[in-house]
Copies of this chain bind each other. A is one copy, B any other.
Amino acid sequence: MDQNAIAILGGTGDQGLGLALRFAKAGRPVFIGSRKLERAVAAAQEVRDAVAGAQVEGLDNADAVVQAPIVILSVPFEHTAGTVKAVKERLVADQIVVSMGVPLATAIGDGAVRTVGVWQGSCAELVAALVPAGVHVVSAFQNVSAHRLRELAQPVECDVVVSGASGPRKTVMALCELVPGLRAIDGGPLANARFVEGVTALLIGLNVRYKVPEGVGLRFTGLPER
């Protein structure tokens, strides 16, 4: 396993592919996972076409998870539990699973921009309840616009609130900073994902009300300079 590699399950979707492009551009080996191998292979080709010298490979989700110490879950909320259950036996201690899902009501066919209640409190905590002991779950990237990720010539201009246990949280915060314009914010313990996931619903509503198809972003003000 290449310690610099990043696996992205559901990496063929808008937001996952956006992250794949950005991490490949930052020089990191990327493994795009999908339920359908041919879609993963096509997405990997799309990244290679956009980023000269990109090290990227398309694989089944189950094959992608064994390739990287960090596994980003970029699947619609309603596929979260199924995806984790399908790959969990291949996860090993100290691997980091990044939850970027949001329990939007679209998961249950409700088109309004709101969330459904998750028994564990958030999508991230649902994931944490499903992974084997020793695997770390970190919450991040929920509020980053897919459109802005994919505009490779532009910085993304968004803060990313990263929540989870201290060590893995720092690892994922460093990952955010590979992307120009993203700033990692220490979001404290994983349960704070409840607040962060809610912000996504708020942002989607703003995109609609203010007619910003590129996606509204978020910045925290008054933080000390790094």
List CB contacts (< 8 Å) of A98-139 with chain B: 113-114
Q: For the complex, give the distance between the alpha carbons of A192 and B212 in Å.
A: 19
A25 contacts chain B at the CB level, 8 A cutoff: no
Complex contact A192–B205 (CB within 8 A):
yes
Which of A11-19, A78-86, A180-188 makes up part of the contact surface? A180-188
A27 contacts chain B at the CB level, 8 A cutoff: no
Complex contact B218–A206 (CB within 8 A):
no
Q: For the complex, give the distance between the alpha carbons of A165 and B35 in Å.
A: 43
How many whole Å from A11's CB to the nearest CB in chain B? 25
> A222 with B215: in contact, given A198-B194, A205-B188, A206-B185 (CB under 8 Å)?
yes
How many whole Å from A69's CB to the nearest CB in chain B? 25
Q: For the complex, give the distance between the alpha carbons of A201 and B199 in Å.
A: 12
Neighbouring B residues of A6 by C-beta, 8 Å: none
Contact residue among B196, B201, B205, B223 (Cβ-Cβ distance under 8 Å from A202): B196
Task: Tell me how many residues of A have a C-beta within 8 Å of chain B.
Answer: 38
Neighbouring B residues of A224 by C-beta, 8 Å: 210-212
Complex contact B221–A219 (CB within 8 A):
yes
How often does this chain occur in the complex, in copies?
A: 2
A65 contacts chain B at the CB level, 8 A cutoff: no
Neighbouring B residues of A186 by C-beta, 8 Å: 206, 209-210
How many whole Å from A99's CB to the nearest CB in chain B? 16
A191 contacts chain B at the CB level, 8 A cutoff: yes
Neighbouring B residues of A194 by C-beta, 8 Å: 198
A216 contacts chain B at the CB level, 8 A cutoff: yes
> A214 with B218: in contact, given A161-B202, A196-B202 (CB under 8 Å)?
no
Name which of A148, A195, A205, A217 has the most chain B CB atoms within 10 A of its CB: A195
7 contacts between A and B (CB under 8 A): A188-B205, A195-B202, A212-B222, A216-B222, A217-B220, A219-B219, A219-B220
